[in-house]
Amino acid sequence: MLIAQISDTHIRPYGQLAYRRVDTAWHLARCVEQILAMKPRPDVVLATGDLVDAGDPDEYRHLRDLLERLPMPVYLIPGNHDAREPLAREFSHHRYLPRVGHFLHYAVDDYPVRLIALDTLLPGKAGGLMCEERLGWLAARLDEAPARPTVIFMHHAPFATGIAHMDRLGLDGAAELGAIVERHPEVERVLCGHLHRPIQVRWRGTMVMTAPSTAHQVVLDLRPDAPLEFAMEPPAFLLHAWDSATGLISHTQYVGDFPAPFSPREGRERAK
């Protein structure tokens, strides 16, 4: 099973740029092209939040147009830039999205790896929350299938990264979340967005990974007083490959126009 993870796409309405300089739609379109060109293609795509920039209906319509070229299932969760109602309304054809309740979280049992989506959105705040209701929902889902390999995916990361301004926008309830995950060794990964960087940490008996943005990245600056800044570092997404013999193996795939691949044999032959 191949799982592509895209994140922090920050789509704006047609014709508008993020921060008046980042064409996030163009970047996402290139990412979609790269996914389509992969051999083999991913079986599913997980989009780990901040799907759009301001939670507006026009942005979700634009996002839908950009994602509709993907033939495989695409599983969405909200980030702090999203809004639940317009997201669920525009993607009403995504039958996995819940039609009742306060949160857009769900479990998918159709694949060799079970997928559990968590909604960490706290409206009006940049940070996230795992409240008692959400924690109870997750605990119940994990108790349903304790022997199945599982991936949890959500927007906010449950650990401190050392990027101080992002850590201040972290996840309340992370310790309680960790206590639940620690009881379930079947959790292969916790996959997150929010941080606009590829980061990995060993956490509560599993591995947590954050995905880079498909467009702009957060500057890596570990000074306690560093400002929030973005950089146009190479966009990328993650690819998680499941094999029952080895478990889940995760790769970073950069998006862009690079020279064609070449064989090392060519260089050796020319050197003769």
pLDDT of the residue at 43: 98
Q: Which CATH class is domain 2-258?
A: alpha beta
Q: How confident is the model at residue 271 (pLDDT cuts 50, 70, 90)?
A: low
Structure tokens at 10: 């920050």
Neighbours of 132 (CB within 10 A): 9
Contacts of 72 by beta carbon, 8 Å cutoff, 6+ apart: 41, 42, 43, 44, 45
Return the higher-pLDDT residue of 99 and 32. Answer: 32
Query: Which residue carries 């942005």 as its tokens?
Result: 59
Q: How confident is the model at residue 242 (pLDDT cuts 50, 70, 90)?
A: very high
In the chain, count of helices (H) and strands (E)?
Answer: 7, 15
Residues in the chain: 272
